[in-house]
Chains A and B, each alone.
Chain A
Amino acid sequence: MTLSNIVVLVKYVPDATGDRKFEADNTVDRVGVDGLLSELDEYAVEQALQIKEKRADEEITVTALTVGPAEAEAAVRKALQMGADKAVHVQDDAIAGSDAVATSLVLAKAIEKIGVPELVVGGLASTDGGLSVVPAMLAERLGLPQVTLAAVVETQGDQVRIKRDGDTATEVVGGTLPLVLSVTDQSGEARYPSFKGIMAAKKKPLEALTLADIGVDASEVGLAAAWTKVDNVTARPPRTAGEIVKDEDGSGATALVEFLASKKFI
């Protein structure tokens, strides 16, 4: 099988260094805060571009796909600047508040609409929800295998081999295209967009799709359709100020031992 299409999943997330918060309906505030392309998705874009570059004799199109509010366009723009060939942005007011299940539905339908590629690439997790389940759900919906959490990616023909740090072992995992791949921040530093890349991105196609375009009914997505319900969101109480001592001639060690003993760790 030749590789002709790669779809990269990118997400627009609240900036982790900013003041992330929730709205009154317990959904993440995605509008009233500064956002950006999820840092962990940059590695996915990078790997997609590297695969394309390594397989220069094949005609490969890299498409960045995002689902989110108007601001989310910034996420696919960044991917275009890095070198993706085109972008698709699914935007619909009905999507707000969707859980991972609904998000994976929208992604699957959007991918079916634009044509199921031989390779779908995602990041390790979003930097907001951080569930790491969307690639698996998407693979299930598309009927594809998944090879995930790759620290090293190699492709040859229709074979994909990855290396990853599993829970109890370092593993080499193999799969055959088509499949869903996810990569970690160990896979290789993501490139910065060059000035040329930024200029070129302005001319690249960016397709906007609504739910109607991809054949998803509004009742299947959004907060009301979620298969889970959040009852409460509470800000973690600030940790009560702890005791801080300055070490002078071993006093710090003595005090620390006393603390550990008082908490019965010793």
Chain B
Amino acid sequence: MTLIALLWCIAAWLGLSVFAVVVARTAIVGTIVYAACLAIGMLGLSAGLEHLIAATAPAETIILPLGLPWLGANFRLDNLSAFFVLVVDLGAATASLYALGYGRHESEQHRVLPFYPAFLAAMNLVVLADDAFTFLVSWELMSLVSWALVVAHHHDRENIRAGYVYLLMASFGTVALLLAFGLLAGPEGSYAFAELRLHPPSETLAAAVLALTIVGTGSKAGLIPLHVWLPLAHPAAPSHVSALMSGVMTKVAVYAFIRIVFTFLGPPQWWWALPVLIAGAASAVIGVLYALNQSDLKKLLAYSTIDNIGVIFIGLGLALAFQTNALGAAAALAMAAALLHVFNHALFKSLLFFGAGAVLTSTGERNLERLGGLIHTMPVTAFLFLLASMAICALPPLNGFVSEWLTFQAVLISPQLPQWSLRLIVPAVGAMLALAAALTAACFVKAFGFAFLGRPRSDVAKRAVETDTFSLAGMFSLGALCLFIGILPGFVIDRLAPVTQFLLSARLPVQADVPWLSIIPISEGRSSYNGLLVFLFILISSLGAVLVIHTFASRKVRRSAAWDCGFPDPRPVTQYSADSFVQPLRRVYGTLVFLAREKVQMPTPGEMSPARFTVTMQDLAWRLIYSPIVHAVEFSAERLNVLQFMTIRRYLALVFSALIFLLIVLASWT
């Protein structure tokens, strides 16, 4: 029944899209569409939640008479898809709530509204699809609709370029997945997932499928070096769509990876974990280093998504490694950590994009060098953005810490692995994870500190006003969830048990039985964490300090000019800039990762020209991989260009010689 309800939700979203095409230019329609999306999203959310809470609910399947005539459109709701339906529809509902307010500031409403409900429907379709054909069609629909949303503001040339790169990379990813499913199905196999589950491929074939899956889903999720489109496309879309793309669509790619690798490929080989772990660790560290060097708030958030996807893939790689060696509980721990991070990242990254959107509508700026001081004019947005920043930096007692902590605990079980290469790689991956966490803290000190703190760096920042109630409600609901999961993680971890049971036939100990609402991933003597107590300790000691100091010591406050070592300068330019903030970090890491070079040109004394400071940084992924490909394509296109302007005789000669050549090949073949 739940599946039918979900399919009706999808149908309603698609209908809403058509409705929006017809009437997109009227003013009220935005409110109607977003309100309807919110209602449908809540419905889908409760359906997914219901399936997940009824832990023993059997998988439901439906075949609709659509698509390939001999196959139909298969849909299935099992524990894995129920969890991802939950993630997708939670994002959908909150984004729609936010858009009720944000959408009113949208200048290109008629380019956003028709595609928005279809985007939500497509993401739901992908996680419910139960045959390769439906899956790929939904996947492509998701790509195309989100592309349309990326280029909604097509007057900006940057956005057109972003859309172009996105379209190319999305098609490339789909091709990889198409080949992966082709290999899985074999020459006469069926494309229904039920068949694929029953007939795992041979060892070599499985390796090829794994490689194609990493490429296909990794390009959607933003694994390095397939990430190049992501920081262009995510910020280009309207902010609620950015939140969905970063927070939710990348998770749909994670879903595809889990679905293919953990349920179709049969028992894993030990070395499968290696590429996943390495790609995850590289994405985590390099992603956050990129994020640090951005001054564009939305670009910074997009790069930080790459970092978090890396963390998720580290968890998945560990789960693969443990599963190979029949360490069921450890695999369940790593998988639970990855899934929890999927959920957490969807929460706080959406919240951060909402905050960035609120700043954007209020000031028209997303450049950190022109923001500042917004904490005075937008206090609620600032508070919620701070909460999400703390969550993404993995600071207790918020939710990001719980998933990072679980991942660390999974890393610490790895000496039990018998393979030497894994035992050498995993501690290095753990160190990379710790490095990424520390750099994330630096990154979000920058993001929050330069957008919201300090003095306004431009007139628009000075004139900012607090955003509307609907936007705040959307942000608040996500912030409350971040805090709730951080304080009571055991509740959510227990809900993940059906998913790990389904994937790995193992689960974590029941956390609801642990006294004091602690979480204990393995055993009591090994490690435990209690978010509630940590939260209470912090609350009591800070409030206690306030109380004691205000009762027994001074409570007076005097306002005066800033001290600044006695030389305060009222001009906002004299503040530290976002770029100078990262300069030390750029020197430490950037010279290696980005080949960053700093050049100072000092005029000779007496000369009147200004001093000049230039920083050059190179994107190695572009330089080493993409530029050569672009050059090769351009080179061959230029060479083949002569074929376009030939006389009819030459064309005929060409066709004739091609025919002869093929006949010779055919003759020598048999």
A and B co-occur in one complex: no
Binding site for A on B (CB under 8 A): none
